[in-house]
A and B are shown apart, each in its own frame.
Chain A
């Protein structure tokens, strides 16, 4: 077992994945803050779609695709100070695609035709899991720039978290698919066009006239960018498999997200990615222990059932101008006892699930259930520190 502190000591990349709604974005941001406050590294957090308050916490209110340095001023009221530097950026899929087209297009005419094509927008939104591809592409870009020692990327929500790992491969496969070659005229385009003819006819009957032809025309343009795209996708894939890239799987201690985390973790191992951590988020605070809670619940129930004792306590309670009725005090104590008992059930459930997390993960860290949403840098510092402790 290693601690989170070791993860942030390493230079490299951290890919944070897990099911939707488990707090991936907060965990990513907190890891970034922890790294930039505990080490002198240049840290970047790439995030997909942060909650407004979390974005504000990072000072990210009004930015898009560009990386923004987080000012040390943000830490001025905190005990913890920046030692390294911290940058953050959101991943804007559409803008990133435009950048890719601009980079890979062989000439200005192709570039403009692609960018203005009506299929293009639809394509960038959905084709070959483009959000996933863009996330890893951005990770590669940031890495290749050499401007950062540690890059943490928060993965986009997807049906299956594995799609992100397969995205570079899929991009390469797409360009080498026979179908694409069949549909788009290459060097021997006349022959191919002839072979494609029956397909066009069937497609016209099924889909409507000309639709497939329009699509083919678009991909003909797109294929002019093949070399650039394929090489890039290959580099991105290599980077994901680099030992410097580690994967962190975040989960809450609930059945569905945990099953997803288990599945993901197994798949990561099978594919020989470097998995570093499983993080259990929103865990009942450690100081709440079942045995003690049950005992206190019993003490409360015994006390409140003793009418005389309760009445005596009611009359001695200070801090209110209104006199407390014995009955009301007794009811309140009953509720507290109930909560103490209910919490033990949650603890037991969480403990059982924690065992599952520990069994599939080499390293394990947890963060407590928070009483409020993270709204400022102190919230991120606190989350990072609790991850660091365990």
Chain B
């Protein structure tokens, strides 16, 4: 998936989109690529994860071959006006930004086109090998990637309309663009991921490049160890062990059991996800990432990116 030019990383809120986006970016850099990482919601999560200062609309190289930026509709408008209408002075007219915001809030696709347009523009300029987008959550991504088409239907003539054509060409080319759906192995997140893939496939022509299941707890026991664990949990055996070892191990058993329960629940949700996806067009990559949620932010991205490098090589 890192051979594409534009990747949208999305998923339900709280599944670790930013972490996965940052880790994918690091993995791409490790493959020798020049990467632009873009945060869509200006919450500042990315700069924290990458342990750098606040990001701006202008891409900034934060480590060798890794640049990062944050999206801003007003700046995107200014750039759009300057580049495509060749009339930069218009953008300076007082009140214009306000009017624009007002219309963009109501008219379908205007804001999305500006934002997606900026991303596609970075792809077209070719300063980076890959643009990785820490995108908005599931509710918004379909509207975003389909925006150029939506807008074309809504405004049949005019400069915005013309500009949407080349964007669509980039977005609908599966060699160039893909959506990465991130989920955790929890019921709500998995259901949203299934619904999202269905919506992407039915409402857009944008390819789903990968499913990433984040925070998968590791397997606790092999099958034969499971049998032994069950035996150790029998009251009679516990007594024997306590006597022989000189101390009971009840809490250790309980802690292990909690790990087993989390793993079982995760496995259940992953198979539910697989069966939901089985009814749809096949998706190339299905990645499971281990649970590092107790790591500090910086270490988390390092661990996940090496995990991704291994998975993707």
Residue ranges of A at the interface with B (Cβ–Cβ < 8 Å)? 19-22, 51-53, 119, 122-123, 126-128, 157, 159-160, 179-180, 183, 199, 202-212, 214-215, 218-219, 254-257, 284-285, 287-289, 292-293, 295-297, 299-300, 302-303, 309, 312-313, 316-320, 322, 324, 328-329, 331-333, 335-337, 339-340, 342-343, 345-346, 349, 369, 371-373
Interface string of B71-94 (1 = CB under 8 A from A): 000000000010001010010010
Complex contact B161–A208 (CB within 8 A): yes
Complex contact B240–A317 (CB within 8 A): yes
Interface string of B178-210 (1 = CB under 8 A from A): 000000101111010000000000000000000
Assembled-state Cα–Cα distance A242/B15 (Å) = 34
Complex contact B236–A340 (CB within 8 A): no
With A51-B191, A204-B158 known as contacts, the answer to whether A127 contacts B105 (CB < 8 A) is yes
Complex contact B252–A297 (CB within 8 A): yes
Assembled-state Cα–Cα distance A324/B253 (Å) = 18
Complex contact A300–B249 (CB within 8 A): yes
Which residues from chain A contact B261 at a C-beta distance below 8 Å?
371-372
Complex contact A336–B256 (CB within 8 A): yes
Which residues from chain A contact B188 at a C-beta distance below 8 Å?
21, 51
Determine how close the nearest CB of chain A comes to the CB of B90; give it in whole angstroms: 6
In this complex, what residue of B is CB-closest to A18?
B14
Assembled-state Cα–Cα distance A20/B191 (Å) = 15
Which residues from chain B contact A51 at a C-beta distance below 8 Å?
187-188, 191
Complex contact A199–B253 (CB within 8 A): no
Please tell me which one of the listed residues A52, A208, A292, A303 contacts residue B160 in the complex, with CB atoms under 8 A apart. A208
Determine how close the nearest CB of chain A comes to the CB of B147; give it in whole angstroms: 12
Please tell me which one of the listed residues A21, A126, A205, A206 contacts residue B12 in the complex, with CB atoms under 8 A apart. A21
In this complex, what residue of A is CB-closest to B300?
A255
Of the candidate stretches B25-33, B124-132, B224-232, the one touching chain A is: B224-232
With A119-B107, A122-B108 known as contacts, the answer to whether A318 contacts B45 (CB < 8 A) is no
Which residues from chain A contact B251 at a C-beta distance below 8 Å?
287-289, 292-293, 296, 340
Complex contact B81–A293 (CB within 8 A): no
Please tell me which one of the listed residues A218, A293, A299 contacts residue B245 in the complex, with CB atoms under 8 A apart. A299
Determine how close the nearest CB of chain A comes to the CB of B273; give it in whole angstroms: 14
Which residues from chain B contact A288 at a C-beta distance below 8 Å?
251, 254-255, 258
Which residues from chain B contact A318 at a C-beta distance below 8 Å?
231, 234, 236-237
Please tell me which one of the listed residues B14, B107, B186 contacts residue A122 in the complex, with CB atoms under 8 A apart. B107
Complex contact B186–A336 (CB within 8 A): no
Assembled-state Cα–Cα distance A50/B14 (Å) = 15
Complex contact A339–B106 (CB within 8 A): no
Assembled-state Cα–Cα distance A309/B248 (Å) = 15
Assembled-state Cα–Cα distance A81/B161 (Å) = 61
Please tell me which one of the listed residues A157, A215, A332, A335 contacts residue B107 in the complex, with CB atoms under 8 A apart. A215
Determine how close the nearest CB of chain B comes to the CB of A131; give it in whole angstroms: 9
Complex contact A332–B225 (CB within 8 A): yes
Please tell me which one of the listed residues B191, B228, B244, B259 contacts residue A52 in the complex, with CB atoms under 8 A apart. B191
Please tell me which one of the listed residues A207, A254, A299, A309 contacts residue B293 in the complex, with CB atoms under 8 A apart. A254
B241 at the interface (CB under 8 A from A): yes
Which residues from chain A contact B110 at a C-beta distance below 8 Å?
207, 211
Complex contact B137–A157 (CB within 8 A): yes
Determine how close the nearest CB of chain B comes to the CB of A315; give it in whole angstroms: 11
Complex contact B100–A122 (CB within 8 A): no
B265 at the interface (CB under 8 A from A): yes
B155 at the interface (CB under 8 A from A): yes
B277 at the interface (CB under 8 A from A): no
9 contacts between A and B (CB under 8 A): A20-B137, A21-B12, A21-B188, A203-B99, A206-B81, A254-B293, A318-B236, A340-B252, A369-B258
Assembled-state Cα–Cα distance A157/B14 (Å) = 10
Which residues from chain A contact B137 at a C-beta distance below 8 Å?
20, 157
Report the 7 A-B pairs with minimum CB-CB distance, sorted nearest first: A21-B14, A208-B158, A20-B13, A371-B261, A208-B155, A20-B14, A340-B252
Please tell me which one of the listed residues B105, B224, B232 contacts residue A126 in the complex, with CB atoms under 8 A apart. B105
Determine how close the nearest CB of chain A comes to the CB of B20; give it in whole angstroms: 13
Determine how close the nearest CB of chain A comes to the CB of B190; give it in whole angstroms: 10
Complex contact A179–B256 (CB within 8 A): no
- Among B102, B231, B234, B244, chain A packs the most CB atoms within 10 A around the CB of B102
Determine how close the nearest CB of chain A comes to the CB of B44; give it in whole angstroms: 10
B103 at the interface (CB under 8 A from A): yes
With A199-B95, A202-B96 known as contacts, the answer to whether A319 contacts B159 (CB < 8 A) is no
Assembled-state Cα–Cα distance A268/B60 (Å) = 34
Which residues from chain A contact B253 at a C-beta distance below 8 Å?
336
Determine how close the nearest CB of chain A comes to the CB of B196; give it in whole angstroms: 14
With A52-B187, A300-B245, A322-B227 known as contacts, the answer to whether A337 contacts B252 (CB < 8 A) is yes
B61 at the interface (CB under 8 A from A): no
Which residues from chain B contact A199 at a C-beta distance below 8 Å?
95-96, 99
Assembled-state Cα–Cα distance A320/B223 (Å) = 14
Assembled-state Cα–Cα distance A199/B93 (Å) = 10
Determine how close the nearest CB of chain B comes to the CB of A155; give it in whole angstroms: 12
Complex contact B160–A21 (CB within 8 A): no
In this complex, what residue of A is CB-closest to B152?
A208
